[in-house]
Structure formats: C-alpha cells, structure tokens
Structure 1
C-alpha cells in the first residue's frame, strides 16, 4: 500500500508542478525547457524507489521556482539570446544555405522531407526557411508561390465561424451549452429528432445556422469508390 500511496502522490505532485510551469513547458520546448522537464522528472520519480518523498517535493518546488524566474528573465531581449538558441536560416531566396545546414547538422534529404511535410517540393519557390530555436522549421514561400488570399482578389469574406462542441465521445459539454444559453432539454430534443442517442454520438456541434450537426460512430459504406481508398489491408 505504501508503494501505491507514494506513486499516486508523486504523479499528482508532478502533474501539479507541470500545470504551474505553464503550457510552454509541455509544448514545443527550447533546450532549457527540455532540461527543466528532465530534471523535474528525475526529482519527482525518486520517491518511487527511495523513501524521500518530502525532500523530493521540496527540490521539485525549488526547480519550478527557478524555471519560472528564468522564464521571466527570458522576456528581456538581452538575456533571451543567452538562454535560447538563435534561429538558423536554411534556405534564402531559393538557395540552400550550406552553413546553416552544417550548423544544425541536417543533411539535404532531411531538409527536403521537412519541406514536403509542409507542402513544398521545390526549394527554388521558397523565400526563406528557418529552423526556429525550439527545433521546428518555418517556411515562407516566394510571393508568386504563396496561396492566393481573398484580399488579392479584392474579395470580402464573412467572419469565420468555429462550430461549438456540445457532445464529445458520448458526453454532454455542459459549459458550452451554458455559454450558448441553451439547456439540456433543447439538446436532447434535437438529438431525438435526428434519431440518435447521446452515448452513441462521437461529436455534435452547434452550427452557425443554429442547428445541430451530429457525427456518430458509424462509417458510411462507399462501395470501394476510388476516392475513399485508404492505405493498408483493411479495405
């Protein structure tokens, strides 16, 4: 029982400290963020093996405070460049920067694969490609090869509407109903009209026209239509 107790405490404390650290520490991480997570992980996992739960929590708390302080300091431009790596240019005006690739130790074929993931197949069409300090690659195409924007055609478009989830994985999202000033009776009536049951609904969203859209767990049979092919042996 003691082992279970310590494991539960360690898990909950670790979760609490990561929440206190902020989203940045658990999203795309800089080298310092990654080091912080490694150190914190080692500290909070120690009590599972060794009986020093109290000290581990104190050390973990100190580590979180240090991380938060350095995070604050990094907001100042002069200190930021000391704590984090500078972005590295990999392609400029269609030309591959050999020094940049060498600096980040990236072969050309890996660069090309990153570009394909982002939808670019020809380096000549790229104005600039940069490896950011957190390791991701940003790509900006030349003006002639970027997607056409409505503003380019002097078109006026309506404001984008984001469908609001009301049911997810068979569970009602109550706070979204409250936000829309709707009640559960309205939702249940809509679901019943569509011949569905809440527990069988994967996703139900409130649409711009005030109606409910339902995506259930059923997959429609497209009778082997080529446009619905999926890789693998499950066709």
Structure 2
C-alpha cells in the first residue's frame, strides 16, 4: 500500500510541476528544456526508492522555479542568443550549404529523408531549408514551386470554419454547447431526428450551416469496390 501511495504521489507532483511549467517544456524542446525534464524526472522519481519524500519534492520545486527564471530571461533578445542555439541554414536558393550540414552533423541521405517527409524531392525547388533551435527542419519552397493560393487566381473564398465538437467518443462536450448557446435538449432532439444515440456516436460536430455532422460506430459496407480497399485482412 505504501509503494502505491508513494508512486501515486510522485506521479501527481510531477504532473503538477509540468502543468506549472507550461506547454513549451513538453512541446518543442530546446537544450535546457530537455535538461530540465531530465533533472525533474530524476528528482521526483527518487522517493520511489528512498524515504525522503519531502526533500525530493523541495528540490523539484526549486528546479521548476529555476526553469521559469530561465524562460523569463529568454524573452530578452540579447540573452536569448546566449540561451538558445541559432538556426542553421542547410539549403539556400537551391544550393546545399555543406558548412551547415557539417555543423549539425547531418549526412546527405538524412537531409533528403527530411525533405521527402515534407513533400520535397528536388533540392532545386527549395528557397531555404533551416534547422531550427528545436531540431526541427523548416522548408520554404521557391515561389515557382509553392502551392497555388486563391489570391493568385483572384478568387474570394469564405472564412475558414473549424467544426465544433459536441460529442466525442459517446460523451457530450457541454462547454461547446454552452459556447454555441445551445442546450442538451436541442442536441437530443437533433439525434432523435436521425435515430442516433449518444453512446453510439464517435464524433458529432456543429457545422457552419447550423447542421450536425455525425460519425457513428457503423461502417458502411462497400464490398468489392476498388475505391474502398483497406490494407490488411479486414476486407
């Protein structure tokens, strides 16, 4: 019982500290972001093996405070260049920057692999490719190779709309209903019109035309239809 209690407390404290830290530390990590996570996990896991729970939590709290101070300092431009690594150019105007590749210790086949993942097969079509401080690679194509935009064709498109989830995995998202100034009875009425039940719905979203899109657990059969082939043995 004591082992379960100590493990649960360590997990809860670690989760709380990461929430205090913010999303940035667990998203795209810089060098000291990663160092912070490694130190924090080592400190908060210590009580699972030893008995000094209070001291470990205190050390973890100090680590969180120091990290928050570093984040504050990084907001200043002069200090930011000291705390973060600068971006490294790998391709510029269709030419490979060999010094950049050498600096980040990246072989040519790995660079080509990163480019393929992003949908680029020809280096000559790339205006600039940069390895950011987080280790991710940003690629900007030349203007002749970028996707055509509606503005290029003088087209006027309607404002982008994000469908609002009202049911997720059989559970009603009440705060979205409140945002739309709708209530539970309205949702039930819409479902009854279609003969649907909440617990059987995987996803239901509110569309920009006021209609409800529903994706339930039923999969329509399309036997022998070439356009509905699924890899594996479930056909």
CA distance in 2, matches of 1:22, 1:206: 30
Deviations 1:136-159 (A, max 9, x none): 100000000001111111111111
Deviations 1:105-139 (A, max 9, x none): 11111111111111111111000000000011000
CA distance in 2, matches of 1:226, 1:85: 50
Instruction: Give the equivalent residue in structure 2 for 1:89.
Output: 89
Say if 2:97 is the partner of 1:116: no
What do you get for the CA RMSD once the two structures are aligned? 1.1
Deviations 1:67-98 (A, max 9, x none): 00000000111111111111011111111111
Instruction: Give the equivalent residue in structure 2 for 1:72.
Output: 72
Instruction: Give the equivalent residue in structure 2 for 1:133.
Output: 133
Instruction: Give the equivalent residue in structure 2 for 1:228.
Output: 228
- Tell me how many residue pairs correspond in the alignment: 235
Instruction: Give the equivalent residue in structure 1 for 2:160.
Output: 160
CA distance in 2, matches of 1:81, 1:164: 40
Secondary structure at the counterpart of residue 143 of structure 1:
coil
Secondary structure at the counterpart of residue 135 of structure 1:
coil
Instruction: Give the equivalent residue in structure 2 for 1:47.
Output: 47
Unpaired segments ≥5 residues, structure 2: none
Secondary structure at the counterpart of residue 15 of structure 1:
helix
TM-score of the two chains, using structure 2 as the length reference? 0.97
Instruction: Give the equivalent residue in structure 2 for 1:151.
Output: 151
Secondary structure at the counterpart of residue 222 of structure 1:
coil
TM-score of the two chains, using structure 1 as the length reference? 0.97
CA distance in 2, matches of 1:87, 1:129: 10
Structure 1 residue 219: deviation in Å? Answer: 2.2
CA distance in 2, matches of 1:209, 1:115: 39
